[in-house]
């Protein structure tokens, strides 16, 4: 099978490429990535010379280049990870989110329509269901009710995917993952941000009272879920991919766990003004994917421990990132408030 992975140089995409090459010795992967601030070829250093792997630098919004890739590469499938992904950045400036997450999705759908492909998966998020405080668990058929410019742009992309399925019968699927954590996550997201801050002796900025609930899935489990959907999912269907943490975990509990695993005390926690429009709880029903035989393998305690250790052992990876553009963003987000 030859898979076009778009956005494969980011956090989940790079873990997915590694997962697929390891599990399927005869698969080939073309990684197509714009290398925005979040794209990093260092995430794939260990496999860059693998003959089954090829990298192409490009933008999913670039119609000409996408058409060229589809006509030259003889692809069987597409898995799209390419997106602007950070809620806080979408609140500062949403234009790039609308472009990549909606127009870029449309551009990929047009290429599928024109060139044909066996199947395609568009990676989406539980955030499209909006705030689930007091509401149980979102099913795939539940209403989309996005709260942030990020989740609205992802929801726009999802609607476009489903419209192209219904209108043109394209063989497309959507996965909606919960909050991922693990190796190679850009250190603007809460877990790597907090771990790396603590290693550097800096405080960790927690929004509001820290009572927001997220469902934390270890990235390798998310990749396993996408793999199952790719091989067993049905065209036109949406699949939630979540860990269903039990008990649910608040950001404060998450923060205290990280502080403890980093050998620090709670005086390192700093309270900052809450994010505007901040959703209080995300929770999804994952039965549909579990019915295909998938189950998450890594529980939160084990996963968070492995994750903290990875950042402790890979300072070279994140120290390079935590400079330049990253510092500009960090100042805007946390220091000028
Ligand atoms: P990331 O920000 O780490 O990586 C995104 C990648 O997409 C980067 O390599 C970037 O260079 C690339 N990219 C961005 N715009 C592009 C464009 N126009 N053309 C080509 N490449 C482009 O993101 P991530 O955390 O790995 O998320 C991957 C996908 O999974 C996203 O679609 C996101 O919405 C979804 N998702 C993420 C999470 C999470 O917790 N991280 C949870 C659920 C769903």
Q: Is the CB of 130 inside a 6 Å radius of any atom of ligand 1? A: no
Residue 247: cis peptide before it, omega within 30 degrees of 0: yes
Q: Please say whether the dihedral angle defined by the alpha carbons of residues 40, 195, 192 and 272, taken in this order, is positive or negative.
A: negative
* Residue ranges of the chain with per-residue pLDDT less than 50: none
Q: Which of 44, 57, 66, 81 to mutate to test the pocket of ligand 1 (most atoms within 8 A of CB)?
A: 81
Query: Ligand 1 centre from 9 Cα, in Å?
Result: 9
Annotated active-site positions, please? 126-127, 150
Tally Cβ neighbours within 10 Å of residue 330: 16
Q: Are strands 238-241 and 172-177 parallel, antiparallel or unpaired?
A: parallel
Rounded Cα–Cα distance for residues 162 and 159 (Å): 5
State which ligand 1 atom lies nearest to the alpha carbon of 217. Answer: 40
| 54-98 confidence digits (pLDDT tens) | 999 999 999 999 999 999 999 999 999 999 999 999 999 999 999
Which mutation among 55, 57, 85, 222 tests ligand 1's pocket best, with the greatest number of atoms within 8 A of CB? Answer: 85
Describe the strand order of the beta sheet including 28-33 as a list of residue ranges: 53-57, 28-33, 2-6, 77-80, 119-125, 172-177, 238-241
Residue 337: what pLDDT? 54
pTM: 0.97
Instruction: Name the residue at shortest CA distance from atom 10 of ligand 1.
Output: 39
User: Distances from the Cα of 131 to the Cαs of 72, 138, 307, in angstroms?
Assistant: 43, 10, 27
Q: Is 250 helix (H, G, I), strand (E, B) or coil?
A: strand
Tell me which residue has its CA closest to atom 35 in ligand 1.
124
Tens-digit pLDDT profile for residues 317-335: 999 999 867 777 777 788 7
Dihedral angle of Cα 153, 159, 142, 16, to the nearest 10 degrees: -70
pLDDT at position 335: 72
Atom of ligand 1 nearest to the CA of 60: 19
Element (H, E) at 313: helix 300-313
Q: What is the pLDDT of residue 327?
A: 75
């Amino acid at each position: 099978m030859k898979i076009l992975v778009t956005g494969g140089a980011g956090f989940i995409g790079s873990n997915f490429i590694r997962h697929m090459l390891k599990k399927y010795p005869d698969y080939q992967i073309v990684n197509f990535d714009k290398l925005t601030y979040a794209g990093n070829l260092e995430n794939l250093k260990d496999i860059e010379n693998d003959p089954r792997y090829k990298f192409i630098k490009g933008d999913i919004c670039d119609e000409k280049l996408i058409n060229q890739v589809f006509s030259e590469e003889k692809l069987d499938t597409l898995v799209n990870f390419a997106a602007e992904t950070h809620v806080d950045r979408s609140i500062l400036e949403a234009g790039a989110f609308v472009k990549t997450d909606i127009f870029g999705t449309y551009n990929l759908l047009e290429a599928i329509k024109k060139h044909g492909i066996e199947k395609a998966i568009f990676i989406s998020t539980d955030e499209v269901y909006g705030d689930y405080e007091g509401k149980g668990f979102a099913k795939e058929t539940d209403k989309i009710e996005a709260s942030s410019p990020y989740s609205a742009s992802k929801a726009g992309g999802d609607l476009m995917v489903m419209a192209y399925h219904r209108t043109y019968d394209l063989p497309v699927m959507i996965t909606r993952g919960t909050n991922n954590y693990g190796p190679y996550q850009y250190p603007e997201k809460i877990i790597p941000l907090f771990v790396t801050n603590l290693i550097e002796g800096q405080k960790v900025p927690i929004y509001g009272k820290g009572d927001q609930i997220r469902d934390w899935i270890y990235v390798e489990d998310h990749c396993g879920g996408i793999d199952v959907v790719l091989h067993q999912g049905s065209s036109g269907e949406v699949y939630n991919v979540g860990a269903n943490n039990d008990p649910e975990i608040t950001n404060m509990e998450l923060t205290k766990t990280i502080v403890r695993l980093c050998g620090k005390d709670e005086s390192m926690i700093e309270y900052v003004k809450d994010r505007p429009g901040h959703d209080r709880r995300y929770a999804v029903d994952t039965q549909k994917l579990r019915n295909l035989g998938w189950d998450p393998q890594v529980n939160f305690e084990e996963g968070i421990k492995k994750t903290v250790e990875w950042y402790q052992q890979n300072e070279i990876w994140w120290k390079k990132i935590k400079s330049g553009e990253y510092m500009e963003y960090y100042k805007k987000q946390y220091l000028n408030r």
